[in-house]
């Protein structure tokens, strides 16, 4: 199996030929049009549900297990156990840090990592297990040749701290040659005006063999775009527009779906919005880890371990967006004081509550597209789990060689599993141990204007977790698309004007709401 992906789209694995994966990651235009024609003929539709209402006679798609639904309320902001990171010189100015002091704290704000410039074009790579693989060699060269020197020389990283590169399954975005660029400047998309990455180091551990400190590095790439009416053939903006707000776009796994995101970025820019685009989740978000869970006995210890790993990965998303937003405001002072919106797609929508929870007062509107809550529940029920191939749960003591795909705790491949009641017990223990999970943080987002776009039969981010997201946010406005995850994103371009109209209404003064055309 190949996990190296030196191509602009990201991860087209040769052994992932299922239609749902191919559709989500992109097909030639002719094939895509044929699929759209066939699906449109099947009578697909979208139902709009205004905020705080449920259609008469309808029932929730699938309520979460009772043991999960009774999870404790989210703790206060001051009590949230954000995971630690090594302190680095952030690259932000003292004035920026002082201006972003936490409300009521009287103390300058400190980012959880550093901002480094990122040369474009860039490429993405999925790391494989073999130490001698081409992808791993390139990752190590990039780490030791480009990232570590400025961290040690300028950002306060001590020479005595050994830095460990990402492990198997990680997804790294790094500078590349033009043949594998992700930022192709076309009239449709335009070239990014700023390219940079957020780099953090987990708290060092002592290597028992050497006695030296070791810290695990993590990096997240961002592109920033100024608003403009259009672009020349080389991507140069034509007729810059005064910004009316900043939209932070969080993609799905591995930076997908790129075509839909590129089209959305274009429309946002032309509508007067500056755009901060996370190119992919933090590099270790998809690093491979397996947790062995006993079929009997106490689950508190293993549930805490799972919660620690899953929520640490989500917290890194929050740290990255927080620092990246501060850097953009520093480089673009005209954005200071303007409204900010967060828009997450699929995996980006899943982590959006954790991102916003760092400082809910900084956000004026939120859009969730194909999202859900409860990272562990999604992991155990998604039909994308084997494809993403990151975290796995194995049950010690019993293996069924013929599991039924799509059921709780089961997979499309032979794997140890557990009775449903044991799975519910694990989910409840996990949620109680995971205050940074999206399911525990959504109550803190209530009051922020919110839109959910949701697929009624989604199996990638299971529809039941999207239903719980909607309910836990206080049932804001929701657009329910008849179909699955792939259809939701295939048809997203046709909803762009509606999304822009919703953002304009949520972010602009009532007397200044422009209406977008088709």
Q: Report residue 458's pLDDT band, with 50, 70 and 90 as the boundaries.
A: very high
Q: Report residue 121's pLDDT band, with 50, 70 and 90 as the boundaries.
A: confident
Among residues 440, 442, 487, 430, the alpha carbon closest in space to that of 257 is found at: 487
The pLDDT of residue 203 is above 70: yes
User: Average pLDDT for residues 105-112, to the nearest whole number?
Assistant: 72
Lookup result for tokens 């460990």: 164
pTM for the complete prediction? 0.83
Among residues 488, 480, 7, 499, the alpha carbon closest in space to that of 255 is found at: 7
Lowest model confidence (mean pLDDT) among 2-16, 64-78, 105-119, 418-432: 2-16
DSSP state of 50: -
CA 381/CA 388 separation, integer angstroms: 13
The pLDDT of residue 296 is above 70: yes
The pLDDT of residue 214 is above 70: yes
Sign of CA dihedral 262, 263, 268, 272: positive
Query: Could you tell me which residue, 77 or 190, shows the higher pLDDT?
Result: 190
Lowest model confidence (mean pLDDT) among 152-161, 194-203, 258-267, 393-402: 393-402
Model confidence pLDDT, tens digit, residues 465-506: 999 999 999 999 999 999 999 999 999 989 999 999 999 999
**Percent of the chain having pLDDT more than 90?**
52
The pLDDT of residue 94 is above 60: yes
CA 336/CA 327 separation, integer angstroms: 11
Q: Report residue 517's pLDDT band, with 50, 70 and 90 as the boundaries.
A: low
The pLDDT of residue 13 is above 70: no
Beta strands in 31-188 (DSSP E): 46-49, 114-117, 122-126, 161-164, 171-175
pLDDT given at position 178: 54
The pLDDT of residue 439 is above 90: yes
Q: Report residue 443's pLDDT band, with 50, 70 and 90 as the boundaries.
A: very high
pLDDT given at position 9: 28
Widest distance between CA atoms in the chain:
67
User: Average pLDDT for residues 239-266, to the nearest whole number?
Assistant: 93
User: Average pLDDT for residues 170-178, to the nearest whole number?
Assistant: 79
Q: Report residue 55's pLDDT band, with 50, 70 and 90 as the boundaries.
A: very low
Q: Report residue 108's pLDDT band, with 50, 70 and 90 as the boundaries.
A: low
Model confidence pLDDT, tens digit, residues 315-341: 999 999 999 999 999 999 999 999 999
Q: Which two tokens stand for residue 470?
A: 């909607």
Q: Which two tokens stand for residue 189?
A: 């998309």
CA 334/CA 505 separation, integer angstroms: 21
The pLDDT of residue 518 is above 90: no
The pLDDT of residue 127 is above 80: no
Q: What is the mean pLDDT of the chain?
A: 80
Q: Report residue 135's pLDDT band, with 50, 70 and 90 as the boundaries.
A: confident
Lowest model confidence (mean pLDDT) among 179-183, 192-196, 460-464: 179-183
Q: Name the range with the highest mean pLDDT among 23-27, 68-72, 405-409, 438-442.
A: 438-442
| Residue 122 near residue 172, CB atoms below 8 Å | no
Q: Report residue 130's pLDDT band, with 50, 70 and 90 as the boundaries.
A: low
| Residue 180 near residue 135, CB atoms below 8 Å | no
Query: Could you tell me which residue, 239 or 451, shows the higher pLDDT?
Result: 451
| Residue 515 near residue 505, CB atoms below 8 Å | no
Q: Report residue 57's pLDDT band, with 50, 70 and 90 as the boundaries.
A: very low
Q: Which two tokens stand for residue 62?
A: 């699938």
pLDDT given at position 34: 39
CB atoms within 10 A of CB 473: 22
pLDDT given at position 191: 81
User: Average pLDDT for residues 143-164, to the nearest whole number?
Assistant: 91
Residues sharing a CB contact under 8 Å with residue 349, sequence separation 6 or more, in sequence order: 250, 368, 369, 370, 371, 372, 461
User: Average pLDDT for residues 23-45, to the nearest whole number?
Assistant: 41
**Percent of the chain having pLDDT more than 70?**
75
């Amino acid at each position: 199996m190949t996990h190296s992906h030196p191509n602009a789209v990201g991860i087209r694995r040769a052994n992932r030929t299922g239609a749902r994966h191919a559709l989500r990651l992109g097909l030639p235009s002719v094939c895509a049009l044929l699929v759209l024609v066939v699906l449109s003929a099947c009578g697909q539709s979208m139902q709009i549900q205004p905020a705080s209402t449920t259609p008469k006679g309808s029932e929730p798609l699938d309520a979460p297990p009772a043991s999960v639904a009774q999870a404790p309320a989210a703790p206060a902001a001051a009590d949230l156990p954000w995971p630690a990171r090594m302190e680095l010189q952030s690259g932000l100015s003292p004035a920026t840090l002082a201006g972003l002091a936490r409300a009521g704290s009287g103390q300058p704000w400190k980012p959880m990592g550093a901002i480094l410039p990122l040369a474009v074009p860039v490429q993405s790579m999925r790391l494989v297990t073999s130490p001698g693989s081409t992808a791993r060699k390139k990752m190590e060269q990039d780490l030791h040749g480009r990232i570590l020197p400025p961290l040690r020389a300028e950002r306060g990283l001590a020479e005595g701290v050994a830095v460990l590169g990402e492990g198997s399954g990680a997804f790294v975005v790094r500078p590349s040659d033009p043949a594998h660029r992700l930022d192709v400047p076309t009239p449709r998309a335009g070239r990014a005006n700023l390219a940079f990455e957020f780099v953090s180091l987990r708290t060092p551990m002592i290597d028992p063999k050497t006695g030296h400190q070791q810290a695990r590095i993590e990096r997240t790439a961002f592109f920033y775009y100024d608003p403009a009416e259009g672009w020349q053939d080389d991507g140069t903006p034509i007729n810059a527009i005064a910004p009316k707000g900043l939209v932070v776009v969080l993609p799905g796994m591995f930076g997908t779906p790129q075509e839909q995101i590129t089209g959305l970025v274009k429309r946002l820019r032309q509508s007067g919005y500056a755009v901060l685009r996370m190119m992919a989740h933090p590099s270790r978000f998809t690093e491979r880890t397996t947790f062995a869970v006993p079929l009997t006995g106490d689950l508190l210890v293993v549930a805490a371990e799972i919660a620690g790993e899953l929520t640490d990965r989500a917290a890194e998303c929050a740290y990255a967006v927080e620092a990246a937003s501060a850097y953009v405001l520093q480089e673009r002072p005209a954005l200071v004081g303007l409204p900010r919106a967060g828009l997450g797609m699929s995996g980006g929508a899943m982590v959006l509550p954790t991102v916003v929870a760092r400082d809910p007062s900084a956000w004026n509107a939120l859009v969730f597209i194909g999202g859900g809550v409860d990272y562990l529940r999604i992991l155990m029920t998604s039909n994308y789990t084997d494809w993403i191939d990151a975290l796995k749960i194995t049950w010690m003591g019993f293996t069924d060689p013929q599991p039924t795909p799509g059921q709780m705790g089961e997979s499309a491949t032979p794997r140890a599993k557990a009775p449903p009641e044991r799975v519910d017990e694990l989910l409840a223990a996990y949620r109680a141990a995971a205050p940074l999970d999206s399911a525990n943080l959504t109550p803190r987002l209530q009051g922020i204007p919110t839109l959910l776009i949701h697929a009624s039969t989604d199996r990638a981010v299971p529809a039941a977790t999207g239903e719980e997201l909607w309910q836990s946010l206080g049932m804001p406005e929701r657009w329910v698309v008849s179909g699955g995850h792939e259809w939701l994103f295939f048809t997203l371009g046709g909803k762009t004007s509606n999304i822009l109209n919703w953002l304009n209404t949520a972010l602009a003064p009532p007397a200044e709401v422009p209406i977008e055309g088709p």
